[in-house]
Every structure is written in C-alpha cells, then in structure tokens.
Amino acid sequence: MKTILILTGPQGAGNHLWSKIFALHPQVSGWSALLNEYWIGHDQEPFARYWQDPEQLRYYRWAASDWYVTSMSVPYMMNGEPTVPNFKAFVTKLQMAGLRIKFAVLGRDQNIVQMQQTRVRGAPTLSTALAEFDQLAAPVFLSYELLHLYGAKYLDNIQQQLGFPIATADPRIRDILAEDANTKYFTPIAHHPTDDLARHASRKHT
C-alpha cells in the first residue's frame, strides 16, 4: 500500500532538517532538492501546490514510489504570507486516492522555538501550531535535541516507530547534523547555587 508521511511542526522546529533526513532513502520520494541546498522556502516543497489546493491531488500520479514525504510547518510561508496547512482537506484527498497516511510531529525546546519565531517572524506562533496538531491521528513525535544527541541510533528507533524507511547509515547524515542550531541560543553561566549542592552530594564522606 502506498504510504505518505506528513512531517509537520511549529515554525522553526526543524522541518527542513528532517525533510533532508527522510529524502536520503532511495525508495522515498521526498524533498530531494534540499539535499543540494541549505534552505529552500516551503512554497517550493514538492507538494506545496496541493497544500494550497488539495482538490488537485486527484490528478496526482503516484508512480514515483511506494513511499512519499511531505513537509509543512505551522504556519508556513506561501507568497510571503503565513499560512496554516489545511490538514483535514489534504488528508481527505489522500484517503480518497487510497494512500496510507502517517504523521510525524517535530519538537524542539519551546523556549528556543518561541525565540526563533519572534526573531524571524516578529512574534511567536507556537500556540497556533499546537492547536492544529490536536487534529492529527496517532502522530510519532520527533525530537530535534534527541536527533543531535543520538544520531543514527535515534533514527533506527524512529524507523521502527513509524514503519517508514530511513537511510540511517547514510554518511550524509553527519553533514546534515554538523551544525546544532540550538547552540546560538545558549549563554553559559559561570555559577549556579545548585552547583554547590551537587558537588557536596558527590564528595566522599569519611
């Protein structure tokens, strides 16, 4: 049965990074153009026109693969305007085409997400995204932090949860994960009162 994975998350949660990861597998029809570019606007995502007008999915020819990925953040930018994906209409048309649908919701530290949204878009949109995700059926949650921490081992786990092919041993994953975008939001502190408690608890007692 042909299967499509819908990747979605709050704006700034790593849609582009995860789209690259899923596009690596040779059996998956994904956003392959991203593998040659650092960033591309969501208006150029392979299914962007169908997110805008789900009715057009009835003309789509599902001949490229048995596995598809589409990625849309909430909101995404379409022609310069923040746009919330119409999940209900999109999913309905996919079901009419006979596809099996899987959802993956992306996660990232909420403080970083809100700072990123404010920096890039002028205001946080996290609450809008969270409200939209309530309508998704049985999503698997993907963590930006766990991906950087555990790498291929985490992807093996995600592959089992999703039942969806991931190129977990592809050497390009190392390049994709070379930069942890969270780093720029961290400012080290020299000392915190709990440091003293931790040192006291861990010392030897005679």
* Residues 2-41 pLDDT 10s: 999 999 999 999 999 999 999 999 999 999 999 999 899 9
Q: In the prediction, which pLDDT does 79 show?
A: 83
Return left, alpha or beta for 14; rule: phi > 0 is left, psi -120 to 50 is alpha, else beta: left
Write out pLDDT tens, residues 44-69: 999 999 999 999 999 999 999 999 99
Q: Which two tokens stand for residue 45?
A: 């995502």
* CA dist., res. 51 & res. 90, Å (int): 6
Q: Which residues contact 42 (CB under 8 A, 6 or more apart)?
A: 15, 48, 71, 72, 73, 76, 77, 78
Domain ranges for the chain, please list them: 3-180
What DSSP element (H or E) covers 102? strand 100-107
Domain 3-180 has CATH 3.40.50: yes
Integer Cα distance of 139 and 159 in angstroms: 13
Please give the Cα distance from 154 to 177 (Å, whole number): 13
> Could you tell me the pTM of the whole model?
0.91
Give Cβ neighbours of residue 82 (< 8 Å, ≥ 6 apart).
Answer: 75, 76, 121, 125
Alpha-helical regions (H) of the chain = 15-23, 48-52, 87-96, 110-121, 126-133, 144-150, 152-162, 172-176, 193-202
Each residue's pLDDT tens digit, 118-168: 999 999 999 999 999 999 999 999 999 999 999 999 999 999 999 999 999
Mean pLDDT of the residues in the chain: 93
Which pLDDT score is estimated for 48?
95
Q: 157 to each of 48, 101, 102, 164, how far by Cα in Å?
A: 29, 19, 16, 11
